[in-house]
Amino acid sequence: MTDNQIFTDFEVVEFVEEKQINLNKVLTGKNFYLINIWSSWCEPCKDESDKLLQLKNDTSVMMIGINYKDKKKNALNFLKLYGDPFEQIFVDKQGLIAINFGAYGVPETFLINNDNKVLKKYIGPLNDEDVYEIKKITKN
């Protein structure tokens, strides 16, 4: 997905219950959605965890995590260790959801509005400037 592109719907799998659900059913009720693809084995994901936690308190944004090619136990330990910024988490055991998002790997983050339009795509770990930019967009 590139900037300004409208998001096409596809199925995602819930992290805890492992139930399949359409992403469009998840993307409701908020003005913005921040979708972050992460994994416990991804070193840069550890670096960006505090950046995601900074964005957690923004009530206009729903934080969604996509746990990429990971083991559940390791993913849970990661969240315990580095904090859980996500309102909802989905699993991507084979990397197919990441391809559906048009992602290249981990970490990658997409800021989407309530029209399912990709406002920003961040390849690699989020930095302070990115957090500032996201906060600026979601405030308007």
Phi and psi at residue 74, to the nearest 5°: -65, -40
Residue 78's identity, in one-letter code, is F
The b/e string for 72-88 (b: 16+ C-beta within 10 A; e otherwise) is eeebbebbeebebbbeb
Nearer to another protein, 8 or 60 (CB): 8
Nearer to another protein, 81 or 99 (CB): 99
Calculate the alpha carbon distances from 17 to 9, 12, 14, 90 in Å.
21, 12, 6, 10
Please give the residue ranges that form the binding site for another protein (CB under 8 A): 1-2, 5, 8, 69, 94-96, 98-102, 104-105
Nearer to another protein, 5 or 113 (CB): 5
Least Cα distance to 42 among 1, 4, 5, 95 occurs for: 95
Q: CB 140 → another protein: shortest distance, Å?
A: 27
Nearer to another protein, 55 or 108 (CB): 108
